[in-house]
Chain A
Amino acid sequence: MSTAERWSSLWKKEDWWAVWLGFGILAFAVAAAALGYSIKAPEIERWADNPLDAFFSDVTVRVSDWPSALASELPPETADRFKYTRKVGYQQGRRTLSETIGWKSRYQMDDADREALLALVTEPAHREAITSLYEQSQSPRANFVALAILLVALGAAFAVAVYMIGENVKQFTAGFVVVSLLAILAYVVSTQAAVSAYGLPYAMWALLLGLLISNTTGTPSWLLAGSKTELYIKTGLVLLGAEILFGKIVVLGARGLMVAWLVTPTVLIFMYFFGTRTLKISSKALVVVVAAATSVCGVSAAIATAAASRAKKEELTLAVGMTLIFTVLMMVAMPPLIKAVGMNELVGGAWMGGTIDATGAVVAAGALLGDNAEVVAAVVKMIQNILIGVVAFFVAIAWVTKIERDPNAPRPSAMEIWYRFPKFIVGFVVASLVFSFILIPAFGGGQEGLNAVESDVVGAVTKTCRGWLFCLAFVAIGLESNFRQLAAQLAGGKPIMLYIVGQSFNLILTLILAYIAFGGWLFNPVILE
């Protein structure tokens, strides 16, 4: 490769464009937050009966909107619970006032608290404040325009990349419009109240919609032109880097670290060798993607390692399909099992946090066991989430230096490794490091800086954009796959065997570590307030 070609790859290669587009979105979000603009990327809202509700931002009164001064007029004990409920009520989702007052069982708001709160909010002075909040709640804002702006902006940015790469912009644009509409449909389905309770995410619906088209009428070429799977995934992964904040580790605690960081690499390595040597699965990329999905955190880890190991789309589809099915099964089965055997709530929480693949399912399963189990499960899973960056980085290094290397060829030079190294991983790592070690201090440092970055940059803009990019990618993967190719990947059930054996090993190892860390075997038992 000549020097000119090496330089031109900066604007001609999809890999680099993913970095530039990801950095562009991150820079926009940071600038908006730093300048004090309150920008919120449009999300598809939860709905129950009418799908159109998904396009109206939920501005119903949140518990956190209650004037905190109300607490000063309550008896001290009730005031404490009021403050706690106000905070948790926000965290658990946007609830109306009446829902929250009626919602007492889960957060120990007893009848006395409930009566006190009801009396408080029905006082005329308070009623005025509450009424104004209610009035606000009666005028939900439509998200149509914001959503259109977001998708048009993303489409325009990708069109520039497509043009620079040298592909047909007109065909891409037509295809992108349809892929976007399918992504919106997938998101809308996944946010239906009951569907979200079952833990069936947008990724699954996006894949199904794409597969439905590709396996019936076939995907027309203009639609394939809009299915830039790699570009969407890699750009989304650069944004995901900004969500991996190392400051988070400091506040998560050593016990969670012990469970997550000892088990995760052990299971990953075990599954890799079991898959490649015992089961003799020919595609090492498929093995590592299934292993990462099982040991780290399901779909997001599968996406990151698939991109790092240049796995085929069908391999990613298979890994994602298995992880989605087993996530729901484990979310349903583990809490009753833990209750039935009388396992300590904290041990049970750590066990589920370390083994159930998807974060949302971990929180849901933990919630059934109790508040403490929910906290421990979520913390262990968050630590695993943070490991995505490390795993993707080392998988990319291993693939460039060992797996893809011709064993008869001379050892590649550092420059050769750099040219072959997937550049989006660089963007992913740089985003994580910049957000963790430059932006958090710039936003006030410590917990304050961490909260500001998480809420004003990540929560407000980048995680929503990343979600849309992953959704577009899954639609595109579905559009590019067919059932015969998927069936070929099953290779006599070996990937399923790999998942089951790996997950069983994960369950045993995590249980032992959970007992050591949280069961009082090695450390003093944990007491959560």
Chain B
Amino acid sequence: MFRSVVIGKIVFTLFWYALLILTALGADYILHRLELYWVGRYFGIVGTGLILASLTYSLRKRKVIDVGSPKFLLGMHEGLSWAGALMLIVHAGVHFNALLPWMALWLLLIVVASGFVGRLLLADARAALAGHAASLAEQGLAAPEIDKRLLLDAVAVDAMNRWRSVHMPLTTILGALTLLHIASIVAYSRWP
């Protein structure tokens, strides 16, 4: 029961993650074929803006603001950050010559992955684990026996919990790298 739910969610999560990567590669390919690769430069601004807008949910969750339905803001957070990440991957393209943009892109992918884990996996995994424990309790099993049987599942949920918890710190590090990237562009490049 637990494993079937979690495996189904993992497949679903991987699908969205793969879709993000493939869509970015497809968009990059099309822009190059149409000789519109320069558009990717501006995708950096738009993508960053979308991700900043998606942080409204984070502010609401931490009660920095108190307007907006959390459920609505969460949906907006997911949609805008997915689209923003897509644009930033296209913005990065496949042209890397320095560490900073490389690190920023990989961190972006990790942050997106941690977000997927939190949203799509963890909630259902927790519910499935609780349901399984309740079912075993109804069968008359003692608590130590239930813990023993659910040990592996509990470890899996705990691992996801830890993975989820890095989402926000990694996001702030990504924000710092983005600021450094913008500062270096302003300092050393001609814009626009």
Decide whether A and B assemble into one complex: no
